[in-house]
Amino acid sequence: MDFALNETHTMIRDTARQFAADVLLPTADERDDKETFPAQEVKQLGELGFMGMMVPEEYGGAGLDTVSYAVAMEEISKADASCGVIMSVNNSLVCYGLNKYGTEEQKQKYLIPLAKGEKLGAFALSEPEAGSDASNQHTVAVKEGDHYVLNGIKNWITNGTTADVVLVIAQTDPSKGPKGISAFIVEKGTPGFTYGKKERKLGIRSSDTVSLLFENVKIPATNRIGDEGFGFKFAMMTLEGGRIGIAAQALGIAQASLEASVAYSKQRKAFDQPIANLQAIQFKLADMATDIEAARLLVHQAAALKDAGKPFGKEAAMAKLHASRVAVNAALEAIQIHGGYGYVREYKVERYLRDAKITEIYEGTSEIQRIVISRALLKE
């Protein structure tokens, strides 16, 4: 849908596409196999301005819009979905939250280096008993003078071991339920802040995912984001924008699956002809392309609404729901088109399927997206 992109969007897309092809793609399979964090590649993303794309230039960002971010996320994720989610968390969940709700002091100290890519951020909401039920927070922050004491466990945290700054959601007044939840900035190396074991995952294997452990961690009161009790609302509003990033990640995986399938079908022969001549293959490609284009329209619509300052929660949920489903289906069809070769590591399509599945789970499962969409419809 190039018709909806302006000159800046096209330039960003082309820059991301070139970087992904030249830098990410050649080593993506090796990083996946060895579960190696792409430290150098993430640094280069920062140098290109891709780690704080929507942050104003005065705070170290690129000052771009959400559509620019979505097209860049698609291109990066098409080559390496692990780099895509690292970029998404830093942009959508960390920089966005600090830019919109942080104090000037917090922006100067944390946002600027995060947006420049000099530091990396993580977002800690999920817990062993608080996944989809995000209001059921067991991590507790108790006010003691000019600081808080944080205790609890967070799990499934992307960038967990590599992040310099973590935004932590914790209960400050259990008697108030969701209205007693607050948000805090916690720095790596703070005494009492440690990590659990690195998770061994099906996909996005070069992105580190761990549990975070907090034992009597002292946090300055100045590191609280907003007022006490603002944390749950902060998390939900931040996740709305995050869904656009993950939808764009899913879109990139789907597009990679389609491109691999088109290329393979042209060179693979069966019954004395390229399999691209077979209607069974042609129909699969046609359906994949149509579903991907529809997903792209949804993603760009949600991004454009956000840029226009209009409500976008329902549209972001729709984009993530549809794009994640399309990613899984496209990867499955790519494997089917590749036949036995699609099932082995020599070809990339098996990685696309492994990477695609998580997009239906993190930053709100598909079931949660349906709840968000239906609630919005019933309020209209």
Catalytic residues: 363
Q: Distance (Å, rounded) from C-alpha 375 to C-alpha 201?
A: 33
CB 215 within 8 A of CB 43: no
Between CA 321 and CA 324, with CA 322 as vertex, the angle to 5 degrees is 70
Q: Distance (Å, rounded) from C-alpha 123 to C-alpha 305?
A: 24
Q: Distance (Å, rounded) from C-alpha 289 to C-alpha 294?
A: 9
Site of tokens 């964090």: 37
The tokens describing 223, both together, are 């590191």
User: How many CB atoms are located within 10 Å of the residue 366 CB?
Assistant: 16
The tokens describing 297, both together, are 């329209």
For residue 337, the SS3 value is helix
CB 76 within 8 A of CB 246: no
State the virtual CA torsion across 111, 115, 117, 121 in degrees, nearest 10: 50
State the virtual CA torsion across 292, 63, 95, 42 in degrees, nearest 10: 70
147-158 vs 209-220, strand pairing mode: antiparallel
The tokens describing 310, both together, are 């209009």
Q: Distance (Å, rounded) from C-alpha 349 to C-alpha 336?
A: 10
User: How many CB atoms are located within 10 Å of the residue 377 CB?
Assistant: 9
Host H or E run for residue 314: helix 313-338
